[in-house]
Amino acid sequence: MPTPRRAAARGLAGYLVSLRRTDNLGRVVLPVELRRILRLAPGDSLEIFVDGPRVVLKRYEPGCVFCGALSELVGYRDRLVCRACIRDASARLLSPAPPSPASPPSPPAGGAPSEADAQGDPVLPS
């Protein structure tokens, strides 16, 4: 059985590196070899995923909340957003909105009430 370092160097993903038991609080200690392979330092965060019968640990790399990009990040309200998403959102917010198909018709020019309004009859949209 190759050592964990050799297993990682050979690209043997999924190869049994170590067997560990959980303690009474459900914690697992990652062996030092695995922490070195993943370049984990004390206090680093891990993402935990479930992939079928597997639990996957991945070193946390913060990215854009919209697209996941890892570069050109800007903090906004405790979230990270990349500059490309900021440009996209700005362009969408600043561009005029297309008219809604269900919007009521605009009032007649001059703002004067129509004859039907003056008589008290309901005005139905056309």
- Strands 54-59 and 73-76, how do they pair? unpaired
Checking if the pLDDT of 48 tops 80, the result is yes
Sign of CA dihedral 29, 35, 37, 38: positive
Band of residue 45 on the pLDDT scale cut at 50, 70, 90: confident
44 C-beta neighbours (distance < 10 Å), count:
11
Checking if the pLDDT of 73 tops 80, the result is yes
Q: What is the DSSP letter of 102?
A: T
Checking if the pLDDT of 56 tops 90, the result is no
Checking if the pLDDT of 90 tops 70, the result is yes
What does the pLDDT average to over 26-55? 88
Contact between residue 34 and residue 4 where contact means Cβ atoms under 8 Å apart? yes
Residue 64: Cβ-neighbour burial (10 angstroms; 0-12, 13-18, 19+): buried
| One-letter amino acid for residue 86 of the chain | I
The pTM for the full model equals 0.42
> Mean pLDDT over all residues of the chain?
76
How far apart CA 83 and CA 69 sit, in angstroms, is 10
Checking if the pLDDT of 1 tops 80, the result is no
Checking if the pLDDT of 46 tops 70, the result is yes
Sign of CA dihedral 66, 71, 76, 78: positive
